[in-house]
Amino acid sequence: MFVNGIFFWTYDHAISNPRIKDFFMKAVNLKTKFAEFFSNCAFEDDTMFHEIPPDICTKSFLTDTGKRLVAVYNKTRKTCRLKIKEPVTGRLTVYDSECRVVNKITGGTIMELPCPADPFLVITLE
């Protein structure tokens, strides 16, 4: 649900489990931070990448001004790199599930997106 930019729903009893609550709240918090971006863009699926490793799900969103957001669900919680089909230029920022900036690349040509060991990530390309 996170990568598709849709709303979350859960049974109340799931939130009483601390592990599930932490997992759920990380996704909700990150989704809330980027809610405007998700709501004002076109869904592009995962067409910008060559091959996506197993157990990693990505979806791209594009605004009418050319900004791109990539939502990543990393089930493995291991670091990885996603290879982009066509190089992009500009500024890349990676946010972890705590909404912290964990990587920023400014300028140059970007060929890969770095994904830290975190279940939920948002990557913005401007």
Spatial CA neighbour of 29 closest among 118, 109, 114 = 118
What is the reported pLDDT for 8? 53
Q: Is 77 helix (H, G, I), strand (E, B) or coil?
A: coil
Do the Cβ atoms of 48 and 59 come closer than 8 Å?
no
Tell me, what's the pLDDT at 38? 66
What is the identity of the amino acid at 109?
Answer: T
C-beta pairs of 44-49 under 8 Å, 24+ apart in sequence = 47/85, 48/84, 48/85, 48/86, 49/82, 49/83, 49/84, 49/85
Calculate what percentage of the chain has a pLDDT beyond 70.
Answer: 85
Q: Which helix (H) or strand (E) holds 44?
A: strand 42-45
N- to C-terminal Cα separation, the chain: 24
Split at pLDDT 50, 70, 90, the class of 44 is confident
Pair 34, 40: CB distance under 8 Å: no
The domains located in the chain, with CATH, are 12-125 (2.60.40.1180)
Looking at residue 21, its pLDDT comes to: 79
Condensed to tens digits (0 to 9), the pLDDT of residues 91-118 reads: 888 888 888 898 888 877 888 877 888 8
pLDDT digits 0-9 by tens, 45-78: 777 788 888 888 888 888 888 888 888 888 888 8
pTM, two decimal places: 0.75
